[in-house]
Amino acid sequence: MASVGDSDLYRVPAVKPPTSEYLRELSQSMGLQCTDVDLGVYLEHITGTLRGYDRISQLVGPSLPVKYPRTPGYRPSPVENTLNGWYWKCDIKGSDNGRLSGKTIGIKDNVAVAGVPMTNGSKLLEGYTPEFDATVVTRILDAGGRILGKTNCEDLCMCGSSFTNVTGPTLNPHDRSRSSGGSSSGSAALVAVGEIDMAIGGDQGGSIRIPASWCGIVGLKPTFGLVPYTGACPIEITIDHLGPMARTVYDCALLLEVISGPDGINDSRQSSTFHVPEYTKQLKTEMAGKKIALITEGFACCEQNVQNVVRETALKLTTKGAVVEEISIPLHKDGVAVWYTIALEGAYNCLYKGNGTGYHWKGYYPSSMQEALTRGFHLRPQDMSETFKGAVLFGAFIQKNYQNKFYSKAQNLNMMLTAAYNKVLEEYDVLLMPTLTSVAPELPKQDSTLKERLKADSGMDVNCMPFNCTGHPAISINAGRSLDGLPIGMMLVGRHFHEVSVLQIAYAYEQLQNN
Protein backbone atom coordinates (compact mmCIF):
# COMPACT_ATOMS: atom_id res chain seq x y z
CA MET A 1 0.00 0.00 0.00
CA ALA A 2 1.34 3.45 -0.95
CA SER A 3 2.08 5.97 1.82
CA VAL A 4 1.98 9.73 1.79
CA GLY A 5 5.78 9.83 1.61
CA ASP A 6 5.97 7.40 -1.35
CA SER A 7 8.31 8.97 -3.91
CA ASP A 8 6.44 7.29 -6.79
CA LEU A 9 3.27 9.27 -6.13
CA TYR A 10 2.66 12.49 -8.03
CA ARG A 11 3.41 15.74 -6.22
CA VAL A 12 2.68 19.25 -7.39
CA PRO A 13 6.13 20.80 -8.03
CA ALA A 14 7.19 23.52 -5.61
CA VAL A 15 8.39 25.69 -8.52
CA LYS A 16 7.02 25.26 -12.03
CA PRO A 17 10.00 25.05 -14.45
CA PRO A 18 10.30 27.88 -16.99
CA THR A 19 9.54 27.34 -20.67
CA SER A 20 12.15 27.75 -23.38
CA GLU A 21 10.37 30.88 -24.57
CA TYR A 22 10.47 32.41 -21.10
CA LEU A 23 14.21 31.72 -20.75
CA ARG A 24 14.81 33.25 -24.19
CA GLU A 25 12.96 36.43 -23.22
CA LEU A 26 14.80 36.56 -19.90
CA SER A 27 18.17 36.14 -21.61
CA GLN A 28 17.40 38.93 -24.05
CA SER A 29 16.18 41.34 -21.36
CA MET A 30 19.38 40.75 -19.34
CA GLY A 31 21.71 40.98 -22.36
CA LEU A 32 23.13 37.48 -21.77
CA GLN A 33 23.25 36.59 -25.52
CA CYS A 34 22.47 32.88 -24.97
CA THR A 35 21.88 30.74 -28.06
CA ASP A 36 18.93 28.37 -28.35
CA VAL A 37 21.33 25.46 -27.81
CA ASP A 38 22.64 27.14 -24.65
CA LEU A 39 19.13 27.74 -23.41
CA GLY A 40 18.22 24.05 -23.93
CA VAL A 41 21.14 23.01 -21.75
CA TYR A 42 20.33 25.62 -19.10
CA LEU A 43 16.67 24.51 -19.06
CA GLU A 44 17.71 20.92 -18.37
CA HIS A 45 20.09 22.10 -15.66
CA ILE A 46 17.43 24.33 -14.05
CA THR A 47 14.86 21.53 -14.08
CA GLY A 48 17.30 19.28 -12.24
CA THR A 49 18.15 21.95 -9.70
CA LEU A 50 14.46 22.51 -8.97
CA ARG A 51 14.22 18.97 -7.58
CA GLY A 52 16.10 20.32 -4.58
CA TYR A 53 13.45 23.02 -4.23
CA ASP A 54 10.81 20.28 -4.22
CA ARG A 55 12.61 18.62 -1.34
CA ILE A 56 12.97 21.91 0.57
CA SER A 57 9.21 22.41 0.15
CA GLN A 58 8.47 18.93 1.55
CA LEU A 59 10.63 19.23 4.67
CA VAL A 60 9.11 20.69 7.86
CA GLY A 61 11.25 23.54 9.17
CA PRO A 62 11.85 24.51 12.81
CA SER A 63 9.53 26.92 14.61
CA LEU A 64 9.92 29.16 17.62
CA PRO A 65 8.34 27.71 20.77
CA VAL A 66 4.91 28.58 22.13
CA LYS A 67 5.07 27.65 25.82
CA TYR A 68 2.00 29.22 27.41
CA PRO A 69 -1.70 28.79 26.56
CA ARG A 70 -3.77 31.74 25.43
CA THR A 71 -6.99 32.75 23.74
CA PRO A 72 -6.96 35.03 20.67
CA GLY A 73 -8.38 38.05 22.50
CA TYR A 74 -10.31 40.80 20.72
CA ARG A 75 -10.14 44.14 18.95
CA PRO A 76 -11.08 46.76 21.60
CA SER A 77 -13.86 49.26 21.00
CA PRO A 78 -13.14 53.01 21.09
CA VAL A 79 -14.72 53.16 24.55
CA GLU A 80 -11.87 51.10 26.05
CA ASN A 81 -9.24 52.40 23.64
CA THR A 82 -9.54 56.17 24.01
CA LEU A 83 -5.98 56.93 22.83
CA ASN A 84 -6.10 54.26 20.12
CA GLY A 85 -3.01 52.75 21.71
CA TRP A 86 -4.18 49.15 21.43
CA TYR A 87 -4.41 47.15 18.24
CA TRP A 88 -5.53 43.96 19.99
CA LYS A 89 -6.26 43.08 23.60
CA CYS A 90 -5.59 39.69 25.15
CA ASP A 91 -4.49 38.26 28.48
CA ILE A 92 -1.57 35.86 28.39
CA LYS A 93 -0.19 34.73 31.73
CA GLY A 94 3.33 33.36 31.92
CA SER A 95 5.20 31.58 34.67
CA ASP A 96 3.75 31.70 38.17
CA ASN A 97 6.83 33.52 39.42
CA GLY A 98 9.82 35.39 38.13
CA ARG A 99 11.35 38.86 37.89
CA LEU A 100 8.29 40.23 36.07
CA SER A 101 5.73 38.67 38.38
CA GLY A 102 2.86 41.14 38.83
CA LYS A 103 3.91 43.29 35.87
CA THR A 104 1.66 43.94 32.89
CA ILE A 105 3.24 44.34 29.45
CA GLY A 106 2.22 45.50 25.99
CA ILE A 107 3.91 44.16 22.87
CA LYS A 108 4.48 46.42 19.88
CA ASP A 109 2.51 45.09 16.92
CA ASN A 110 5.61 44.41 14.81
CA VAL A 111 6.51 41.62 17.25
CA ALA A 112 4.87 38.20 16.86
CA VAL A 113 2.65 36.73 19.58
CA ALA A 114 1.34 33.29 18.65
CA GLY A 115 -2.40 33.10 18.09
CA VAL A 116 -2.87 36.88 18.30
CA PRO A 117 -3.57 38.87 15.09
CA MET A 118 -0.74 41.10 13.88
CA THR A 119 -0.74 43.95 11.34
CA ASN A 120 2.47 45.92 12.02
CA GLY A 121 0.16 48.91 11.63
CA SER A 122 -0.55 48.13 7.98
CA LYS A 123 -3.42 47.03 5.75
CA LEU A 124 -0.93 44.73 4.04
CA LEU A 125 -0.88 42.30 6.99
CA GLU A 126 -4.60 42.32 7.78
CA GLY A 127 -5.75 38.76 8.44
CA TYR A 128 -2.32 37.48 9.48
CA THR A 129 -1.93 35.60 12.76
CA PRO A 130 1.55 34.28 13.70
CA GLU A 131 1.94 30.72 14.88
CA PHE A 132 5.06 31.48 16.93
CA ASP A 133 6.19 33.71 19.80
CA ALA A 134 9.06 36.12 19.28
CA THR A 135 11.98 35.38 21.59
CA VAL A 136 11.35 38.50 23.70
CA VAL A 137 7.74 37.36 24.21
CA THR A 138 8.84 33.96 25.48
CA ARG A 139 11.37 35.57 27.82
CA ILE A 140 8.74 37.93 29.25
CA LEU A 141 6.35 35.05 29.91
CA ASP A 142 9.12 32.88 31.37
CA ALA A 143 9.84 35.72 33.80
CA GLY A 144 6.22 35.81 35.01
CA GLY A 145 5.07 38.78 32.96
CA ARG A 146 1.44 39.16 31.93
CA ILE A 147 0.88 40.31 28.34
CA LEU A 148 -2.28 42.39 27.93
CA GLY A 149 -2.15 42.92 24.19
CA LYS A 150 -0.54 44.27 21.03
CA THR A 151 0.13 48.00 21.00
CA ASN A 152 -0.48 50.07 17.89
CA CYS A 153 2.51 51.12 15.84
CA GLU A 154 3.02 53.09 12.66
CA ASP A 155 2.44 51.47 9.27
CA LEU A 156 5.37 49.03 8.84
CA CYS A 157 7.12 51.21 11.47
CA MET A 158 7.96 53.74 8.75
CA CYS A 159 6.91 56.94 10.52
CA GLY A 160 8.21 59.07 13.40
CA SER A 161 4.79 60.55 14.14
CA SER A 162 1.58 58.68 15.09
CA PHE A 163 -0.95 59.03 12.27
CA THR A 164 -0.19 56.25 9.73
CA ASN A 165 -1.62 53.23 11.56
CA VAL A 166 -4.41 51.50 9.63
CA THR A 167 -6.77 51.96 12.61
CA GLY A 168 -6.15 55.70 12.89
CA PRO A 169 -3.87 58.01 14.88
CA THR A 170 -2.57 57.25 18.36
CA LEU A 171 -3.21 60.30 20.54
CA ASN A 172 -0.76 61.96 22.90
CA PRO A 173 -1.93 61.44 26.51
CA HIS A 174 -0.87 65.01 27.45
CA ASP A 175 -2.74 66.68 24.57
CA ARG A 176 -4.96 64.56 22.36
CA SER A 177 -4.61 66.91 19.42
CA ARG A 178 -0.89 66.12 19.25
CA SER A 179 1.32 63.25 18.11
CA SER A 180 2.38 60.60 20.59
CA GLY A 181 5.43 59.91 18.43
CA GLY A 182 6.27 56.83 16.41
CA SER A 183 6.70 54.24 15.50
CA SER A 184 6.19 52.66 18.97
CA SER A 185 3.27 55.02 19.50
CA GLY A 186 0.84 52.75 21.35
CA SER A 187 3.51 51.37 23.66
CA ALA A 188 4.44 54.85 24.88
CA ALA A 189 0.90 56.20 25.20
CA LEU A 190 -0.38 53.20 27.16
CA VAL A 191 2.59 53.15 29.51
CA ALA A 192 2.19 56.90 30.10
CA VAL A 193 -1.43 56.58 31.25
CA GLY A 194 -0.78 53.48 33.34
CA GLU A 195 -2.79 50.94 31.35
CA ILE A 196 0.34 48.77 31.33
CA ASP A 197 3.47 48.81 33.48
CA MET A 198 5.92 48.42 30.63
CA ALA A 199 6.11 47.67 26.93
CA ILE A 200 8.28 46.39 24.15
CA GLY A 201 9.19 48.99 21.54
CA GLY A 202 11.17 48.79 18.32
CA ASP A 203 13.73 51.33 17.17
CA GLN A 204 15.27 51.76 13.71
CA GLY A 205 15.56 55.57 13.67
CA GLY A 206 14.33 56.63 17.09
CA SER A 207 11.07 54.70 17.31
CA ILE A 208 11.44 53.93 21.02
CA ARG A 209 12.93 57.29 21.98
CA ILE A 210 10.62 59.54 19.94
CA PRO A 211 7.36 58.43 21.63
CA ALA A 212 9.13 58.12 24.99
CA SER A 213 10.14 61.78 24.71
CA TRP A 214 6.75 63.10 23.57
CA CYS A 215 4.78 60.98 26.06
CA GLY A 216 7.12 61.71 28.98
CA ILE A 217 8.26 58.17 29.81
CA VAL A 218 11.55 56.21 29.78
CA GLY A 219 12.58 54.40 26.61
CA LEU A 220 15.86 52.60 25.93
CA LYS A 221 17.34 51.60 22.58
CA PRO A 222 19.87 48.99 23.68
CA THR A 223 23.24 48.27 22.13
CA PHE A 224 22.79 46.66 18.72
CA GLY A 225 22.55 42.91 19.28
CA LEU A 226 21.95 42.98 23.04
CA VAL A 227 18.27 42.08 22.65
CA PRO A 228 17.37 39.40 20.08
CA TYR A 229 15.23 40.55 17.18
CA THR A 230 13.97 37.02 16.49
CA GLY A 231 10.29 36.98 15.51
CA ALA A 232 9.93 40.72 14.86
CA CYS A 233 9.34 42.36 11.50
CA PRO A 234 12.48 44.26 10.47
CA ILE A 235 13.16 47.32 8.34
CA GLU A 236 16.92 46.93 7.76
CA ILE A 237 18.88 44.30 9.64
CA THR A 238 21.85 46.55 10.50
CA ILE A 239 19.71 49.12 12.37
CA ASP A 240 16.91 46.96 13.88
CA HIS A 241 16.57 47.15 17.68
CA LEU A 242 13.97 46.01 20.23
CA GLY A 243 13.95 47.55 23.69
CA PRO A 244 12.06 48.37 26.90
CA MET A 245 9.68 51.26 27.63
CA ALA A 246 8.38 52.07 31.13
CA ARG A 247 7.42 54.89 33.48
CA THR A 248 10.54 54.52 35.63
CA VAL A 249 14.20 53.81 35.01
CA TYR A 250 14.00 50.84 37.39
CA ASP A 251 11.22 49.16 35.40
CA CYS A 252 13.05 49.90 32.16
CA ALA A 253 16.17 48.23 33.58
CA LEU A 254 14.11 45.30 34.87
CA LEU A 255 12.55 44.57 31.49
CA LEU A 256 15.95 44.93 29.83
CA GLU A 257 17.37 42.27 32.17
CA VAL A 258 14.66 39.85 31.08
CA ILE A 259 14.77 40.33 27.31
CA SER A 260 18.55 40.67 26.82
CA GLY A 261 21.03 37.95 25.99
CA PRO A 262 22.12 35.69 23.12
CA ASP A 263 19.47 33.76 21.18
CA GLY A 264 21.82 31.11 19.85
CA ILE A 265 21.64 30.43 16.13
CA ASN A 266 18.33 32.30 15.77
CA ASP A 267 19.77 35.82 15.43
CA SER A 268 23.08 36.57 13.71
CA ARG A 269 22.81 40.22 14.77
CA GLN A 270 24.07 39.05 18.13
CA SER A 271 27.42 38.05 19.55
CA SER A 272 27.42 34.84 21.59
CA THR A 273 30.03 36.05 24.06
CA PHE A 274 28.57 39.01 25.95
CA HIS A 275 27.32 38.90 29.54
CA VAL A 276 24.04 40.50 30.68
CA PRO A 277 24.39 42.06 34.15
CA GLU A 278 21.60 42.55 36.67
CA TYR A 279 21.00 46.17 35.77
CA THR A 280 18.53 46.77 38.60
CA LYS A 281 21.18 45.95 41.21
CA GLN A 282 23.61 48.49 39.77
CA LEU A 283 21.35 51.53 39.41
CA LYS A 284 22.40 53.23 42.64
CA THR A 285 25.87 54.72 42.32
CA GLU A 286 27.73 57.85 43.30
CA MET A 287 27.61 60.61 40.67
CA ALA A 288 30.83 62.16 41.96
CA GLY A 289 33.41 61.81 39.19
CA LYS A 290 30.91 60.81 36.51
CA LYS A 291 31.67 62.75 33.33
CA ILE A 292 28.89 63.88 31.02
CA ALA A 293 29.51 65.40 27.58
CA LEU A 294 26.91 67.80 26.21
CA ILE A 295 27.18 67.55 22.43
CA THR A 296 27.08 71.00 20.84
CA GLU A 297 25.68 69.76 17.53
CA GLY A 298 22.98 67.82 19.36
CA PHE A 299 21.67 71.03 20.93
CA ALA A 300 22.11 73.35 17.96
CA CYS A 301 19.53 71.49 15.86
CA CYS A 302 16.77 71.91 18.49
CA GLU A 303 14.21 74.58 19.28
CA GLN A 304 15.39 77.02 21.93
CA ASN A 305 12.88 75.96 24.61
CA VAL A 306 13.99 72.34 24.20
CA GLN A 307 17.64 73.35 24.50
CA ASN A 308 16.97 75.38 27.65
CA VAL A 309 15.08 72.64 29.49
CA VAL A 310 17.64 69.94 28.71
CA ARG A 311 20.62 72.15 29.62
CA GLU A 312 19.04 73.06 32.96
CA THR A 313 18.32 69.40 33.64
CA ALA A 314 21.87 68.35 32.79
CA LEU A 315 23.34 70.96 35.11
CA LYS A 316 21.25 69.63 38.01
CA LEU A 317 23.44 66.52 37.92
CA THR A 318 26.39 68.65 39.01
CA THR A 319 24.69 69.01 42.40
CA LYS A 320 25.39 65.30 42.84
CA GLY A 321 29.04 65.69 41.89
CA ALA A 322 28.87 64.90 38.17
CA VAL A 323 31.12 66.81 35.79
CA VAL A 324 29.13 68.31 32.91
CA GLU A 325 31.11 69.74 29.98
CA GLU A 326 30.18 70.77 26.45
CA ILE A 327 32.15 69.40 23.52
CA SER A 328 31.80 69.23 19.76
CA ILE A 329 31.48 66.14 17.54
CA PRO A 330 31.22 67.64 14.03
CA LEU A 331 30.38 64.29 12.40
CA HIS A 332 27.19 64.10 14.47
CA LYS A 333 25.54 66.42 11.94
CA ASP A 334 26.32 63.96 9.14
CA GLY A 335 24.74 61.05 11.02
CA VAL A 336 21.37 61.93 9.48
CA ALA A 337 22.71 61.51 5.92
CA VAL A 338 24.37 58.22 6.90
CA TRP A 339 21.11 56.97 8.41
CA TYR A 340 18.90 57.94 5.47
CA THR A 341 21.18 56.20 2.98
CA ILE A 342 21.35 53.00 5.02
CA ALA A 343 17.72 53.00 6.18
CA LEU A 344 15.94 53.85 2.92
CA GLU A 345 17.99 51.59 0.66
CA GLY A 346 18.02 48.93 3.38
CA ALA A 347 14.24 49.09 3.79
CA TYR A 348 13.75 48.75 0.04
CA ASN A 349 15.91 45.63 -0.12
CA CYS A 350 15.06 44.03 3.24
CA LEU A 351 11.44 44.95 3.89
CA TYR A 352 10.10 45.39 0.34
CA LYS A 353 12.16 43.20 -1.99
CA GLY A 354 13.00 40.82 0.86
CA ASN A 355 9.34 40.59 1.90
CA GLY A 356 9.94 41.56 5.49
CA THR A 357 12.95 39.34 6.16
CA GLY A 358 15.67 40.25 3.68
CA TYR A 359 18.45 37.94 2.52
CA HIS A 360 22.00 36.87 3.31
CA TRP A 361 21.92 36.52 7.08
CA LYS A 362 21.93 33.44 9.29
CA GLY A 363 19.11 32.88 11.73
CA TYR A 364 15.39 32.23 12.03
CA TYR A 365 13.28 33.52 9.15
CA PRO A 366 9.59 33.96 10.11
CA SER A 367 8.34 32.43 6.87
CA SER A 368 4.60 32.85 7.54
CA MET A 369 5.13 36.57 8.12
CA GLN A 370 7.15 36.73 4.92
CA GLU A 371 4.37 34.99 2.96
CA ALA A 372 1.79 37.40 4.37
CA LEU A 373 3.85 40.44 3.40
CA THR A 374 4.53 38.96 -0.06
CA ARG A 375 0.80 38.71 -0.67
CA GLY A 376 0.24 42.22 0.62
CA PHE A 377 2.98 43.83 -1.47
CA HIS A 378 1.87 42.11 -4.67
CA LEU A 379 -1.90 42.02 -4.28
CA ARG A 380 -2.48 45.35 -2.54
CA PRO A 381 0.41 47.72 -3.37
CA GLN A 382 -2.06 50.61 -3.42
CA ASP A 383 -2.59 50.02 0.30
CA MET A 384 1.00 50.82 1.22
CA SER A 385 1.21 53.88 3.46
CA GLU A 386 2.25 57.16 1.90
CA THR A 387 5.54 57.13 3.79
CA PHE A 388 6.36 53.59 2.65
CA LYS A 389 5.43 54.36 -0.96
CA GLY A 390 7.92 57.20 -0.87
CA ALA A 391 10.62 54.91 0.50
CA VAL A 392 9.90 52.27 -2.16
CA LEU A 393 9.98 54.80 -5.00
CA PHE A 394 13.24 56.25 -3.76
CA GLY A 395 14.82 52.83 -3.19
CA ALA A 396 13.81 51.60 -6.65
CA PHE A 397 15.25 54.74 -8.27
CA ILE A 398 18.59 54.43 -6.47
CA GLN A 399 18.91 50.67 -7.07
CA LYS A 400 18.12 50.95 -10.76
CA ASN A 401 20.63 53.74 -11.35
CA TYR A 402 23.34 53.29 -8.71
CA GLN A 403 22.87 49.78 -7.21
CA ASN A 404 24.50 49.73 -3.76
CA LYS A 405 27.19 52.39 -4.36
CA PHE A 406 25.89 54.86 -1.79
CA TYR A 407 24.68 52.25 0.71
CA SER A 408 28.18 50.78 0.79
CA LYS A 409 29.82 54.17 1.28
CA ALA A 410 27.36 55.08 4.03
CA GLN A 411 28.20 51.87 5.90
CA ASN A 412 31.90 52.74 5.59
CA LEU A 413 31.25 56.30 6.81
CA ASN A 414 29.31 54.78 9.70
CA MET A 415 32.58 53.27 10.92
CA MET A 416 34.04 56.80 11.07
CA LEU A 417 30.94 58.08 12.89
CA THR A 418 31.15 55.21 15.38
CA ALA A 419 34.82 55.93 16.00
CA ALA A 420 34.06 59.64 16.60
CA TYR A 421 31.57 58.80 19.35
CA ASN A 422 33.83 56.12 20.81
CA LYS A 423 36.73 58.56 21.11
CA VAL A 424 34.65 60.92 23.24
CA LEU A 425 33.27 58.01 25.27
CA GLU A 426 36.81 57.02 26.20
CA GLU A 427 36.90 60.15 28.37
CA TYR A 428 33.20 60.61 29.24
CA ASP A 429 30.69 58.18 30.72
CA VAL A 430 27.81 59.36 28.54
CA LEU A 431 26.94 61.79 25.77
CA LEU A 432 23.94 64.04 26.48
CA MET A 433 21.60 65.97 24.18
CA PRO A 434 17.87 66.56 23.66
CA THR A 435 16.10 63.46 22.41
CA LEU A 436 14.09 65.41 19.82
CA THR A 437 14.26 68.82 18.19
CA SER A 438 10.82 69.94 19.37
CA VAL A 439 7.85 69.14 21.59
CA ALA A 440 5.04 67.04 20.17
CA PRO A 441 3.40 68.76 17.18
CA GLU A 442 -0.27 68.70 16.33
CA LEU A 443 -1.45 65.71 14.33
CA PRO A 444 -2.26 66.33 10.64
CA LYS A 445 -5.86 67.26 9.95
CA GLN A 446 -8.17 65.39 7.59
CA ASP A 447 -7.68 68.01 4.86
CA SER A 448 -3.87 68.02 5.12
CA THR A 449 -1.83 67.59 1.94
CA LEU A 450 0.61 64.79 1.18
CA LYS A 451 3.44 67.32 1.47
CA GLU A 452 2.26 68.33 4.94
CA ARG A 453 1.94 64.72 6.08
CA LEU A 454 5.40 63.76 4.84
CA LYS A 455 6.84 66.80 6.61
CA ALA A 456 5.08 65.78 9.84
CA ASP A 457 6.71 62.35 9.57
CA SER A 458 10.33 63.44 9.81
CA GLY A 459 12.85 65.95 11.10
CA MET A 460 12.24 65.53 14.81
CA ASP A 461 14.70 62.65 15.27
CA VAL A 462 18.01 63.89 13.85
CA ASN A 463 19.68 63.21 17.22
CA CYS A 464 18.26 59.69 17.39
CA MET A 465 19.11 58.38 13.93
CA PRO A 466 22.92 58.25 14.15
CA PHE A 467 22.88 55.83 17.08
CA ASN A 468 20.79 53.29 15.19
CA CYS A 469 23.63 53.16 12.68
CA THR A 470 26.44 53.07 15.26
CA GLY A 471 24.57 50.76 17.65
CA HIS A 472 25.36 52.69 20.86
CA PRO A 473 22.84 52.34 23.72
CA ALA A 474 20.64 55.43 24.06
CA ILE A 475 17.97 56.20 26.64
CA SER A 476 15.34 58.95 26.65
CA ILE A 477 14.11 60.21 30.01
CA ASN A 478 11.74 63.09 30.70
CA ALA A 479 13.75 66.27 31.37
CA GLY A 480 10.79 68.50 32.15
CA ARG A 481 8.02 70.31 30.32
CA SER A 482 7.63 73.16 27.91
CA LEU A 483 5.72 76.33 28.82
CA ASP A 484 2.54 74.75 27.46
CA GLY A 485 3.01 71.61 29.57
CA LEU A 486 4.37 69.17 26.98
CA PRO A 487 7.11 66.67 27.90
CA ILE A 488 10.67 67.20 26.69
CA GLY A 489 13.05 64.26 26.52
CA MET A 490 16.75 64.12 27.37
CA MET A 491 18.89 61.45 25.70
CA LEU A 492 21.92 59.77 27.25
CA VAL A 493 24.23 57.70 25.04
CA GLY A 494 26.81 55.23 26.35
CA ARG A 495 29.52 52.83 25.30
CA HIS A 496 28.56 49.63 23.50
CA PHE A 497 27.17 47.02 25.92
CA HIS A 498 27.48 49.52 28.77
CA GLU A 499 23.80 50.13 29.39
CA VAL A 500 24.71 50.33 33.07
CA SER A 501 26.16 53.85 32.61
CA VAL A 502 23.12 55.35 30.88
CA LEU A 503 20.76 53.68 33.33
CA GLN A 504 22.74 54.86 36.37
CA ILE A 505 22.81 58.50 35.29
CA ALA A 506 19.16 58.41 34.22
CA TYR A 507 18.27 56.88 37.59
CA ALA A 508 20.28 59.51 39.48
CA TYR A 509 18.40 62.29 37.71
CA GLU A 510 15.06 60.54 38.32
CA GLN A 511 15.81 60.32 42.05
CA LEU A 512 16.89 63.95 42.09
CA GLN A 513 13.53 64.94 40.63
CA ASN A 514 11.58 62.74 43.05
CA ASN A 515 13.28 64.07 46.19
How close are the terminal C-alpha atoms of the chain, in Å?
Answer: 80
Residue 11: per-residue pLDDT: 85
**Residue 301: closest CA among 326, 327, 336, 325:** 336
The yes-or-no answer on residue 408 being catalytic is no
Residue 7 has a pLDDT of 64
Q: String of b and e for 163-197 (b: at least 16 CB within 10 Å)?
A: bbbbbebbbbbbbeebbbbbbbbbbbbbbbeebbb
CA distance 45 to 47: 5
- Looking at domain 78-337+406-514, its CATH class is alpha beta
Q: Where are the alpha helices (DSSP H) in 160-303?
A: 185-192, 209-215, 249-259, 296-300
Domain boundaries, the chain: 78-337+406-514
**Does the active-site annotation cover 108?**
yes
pLDDT at 50: 93
Catalytically annotated residue among 161, 162, 180, 183: 183
What local confidence, expressed as pLDDT, does residue 3 receive? 57
φ and ψ at 175, to 5 degrees?
Answer: -165, 105
- For residues 202 and 109, the answer to whether their CB atoms sit within 8 Å is no
Catalytic pick among 89, 108, 150, 290:
108
Distance (Å, whole) CA 431 – CA 12: 59
- Chunked into runs of 10 residues, the chain (515 residues) has average pLDDT values of 65 92 94 94 93 91 94 96 98 97 98 98 97 98 98 97 97 98 98 98 98 98 98 97 98 98 94 90 96 98 98 96 98 98 96 90 94 94 95 94 96 98 98 98 96 92 98 98 96 98 98 88
Which DSSP helix (H) or strand (E) runs through 106? strand 104-108
**Within a 10 A sphere around the Cβ of 311, how many other Cβ atoms?**
17
Known catalytic residue: 221? no
* 8 A C-beta contact, residue 440 and residue 481: no
Which residue blocks in 59-173 are alpha helix, DSSP H?
135-142
Please report the beta strands in 305-348, taking only residues with DSSP state E, as ranges in sequence order.
323-327
Catalytic residue (choose from 207, 213, 385, 501): 207
